[in-house]
Structure 1
């Protein structure tokens, strides 16, 4: 039975203008080295510059892989709950019904394209954004839509999900930063105590 191996990664650390920082470039380089031993077929990336640059750096370590844009990976809010949890209410302040519907359509397109089995064994890297990693993880776990909230991931942290016909998805890794030295971990998170 063929398996679709999907390796999700948030782009490297970026500046306020969305360009990779030196830290983000180093993180992307280390992610590429980690993935170099796998038979990667394709590296898909969001159209936003921080993801494009990260994907190109990762792709240099994967000479047999194509590096391509996938519009479905763009950064967006995938789900606006009807009654947001109190801690998240301010985050959703200002989202109107049209924006929520657009985000929902993008989220459906993301799962329709990448969260399903393939006809042949494939290994794909998706360089995207924190919300999209959270949405695909929530989907793989068959959790309610609101559960994407709080599933943050670090810059270039690795999440791996496997898809097979007739079976529920298998979450192999989530937010794994083992390829990063301590000083490059936990970027992309708010302040807090980290293990």
Structure 2
């Protein structure tokens, strides 16, 4: 039975203008080193600069593996709840029906393209953003749409999801930062205690 292995990651740390920081470059290269021992077929990335640069840094460690853009991986809000939790109310303030529908279309395209079995065994890296990672995890778990809220992930943290025909998706690992030294972990999160 063919398995589609998705190695889903958030881009490396970026500055307020969306460009990778030195930390983000180091994180991306360390992720590439970690993935180098796997039979990766392709590295897909969002069209946004921070993801493009992260994907190419990862690709430097995967000789001969194509690095390609996938518009479905763009940063977007995949679902706007009718009555958001109080802690998220400010975030959703101002989203109109048209913006919510546009985000839902991108989310549907993301799932349609990547969250399904393949005809042959594949190993694909998806370099994207926090919200698409959360949406793919929510989908893999069969959770309600609002469960993407609060599924935070760190910069270059590794999430692995497997898709097989006739079976529910398998979430193998979520938000694994084992390839990063302590000083490079927990970027991309808000303030708070870390385990």
TM-score of the aligned structures, taking structure 2 as reference length: 0.99
Spell out, residue by residue over 1:31-90, the C-alpha distance to the aligned partner (whole angstroms, 9 max, x if none). 000000000000000000000000000001111311000000000100000111111111
SS at match of 1:6: strand
SS at match of 1:155: coil
Tell me the distance in 2 between the aligned counterparts of 1:169 and 1:65. 25
Asked if 2 retains the 8 angstrom alpha-carbon contact of 1:5 and 1:122, the reply is yes
Q: Does 1:142 align with 2:145?
A: no
Structure 1 spans left out of the alignment, 5+ residues: none
Match of 2:14 in 1: 14
SS at match of 2:55: helix
Q: Does 1:97 align with 2:87?
A: no
Tell me the distance in 2 between the aligned counterparts of 1:173 and 1:159. 5
SS at match of 1:16: coil
Equivalenced residue count is: 195
SS at match of 1:13: coil
Of stretches 81-90 and 49-58 in structure 1, the one that deviates more from structure 2 is 81-90
Match of 1:77 in 2: 77
Match of 1:172 in 2: 172
RMSD (CA atoms): 0.4
Tell me the distance in 2 between the aligned counterparts of 1:186 and 1:166. 36
Tell me the distance in 2 between the aligned counterparts of 1:57 and 1:38. 16
Tell me the distance in 1 between the aligned counterparts of 2:188 and 2:124. 23
SS at match of 1:126: strand
Asked if 2 retains the 8 angstrom alpha-carbon contact of 1:41 and 1:64, the reply is no
After superposing on structure 2, the runs of 4+ consecutive aligned residues of structure 1 that deviate more than 3 Å are none
CA deviation after TM superposition for structure 1 residue 173, in Å: 0.5
Instruction: Give the 5 Å matches for 1:124-143.
Output: 124-143=124-143
Tell me the distance in 2 between the aligned counterparts of 1:172 and 1:30. 20
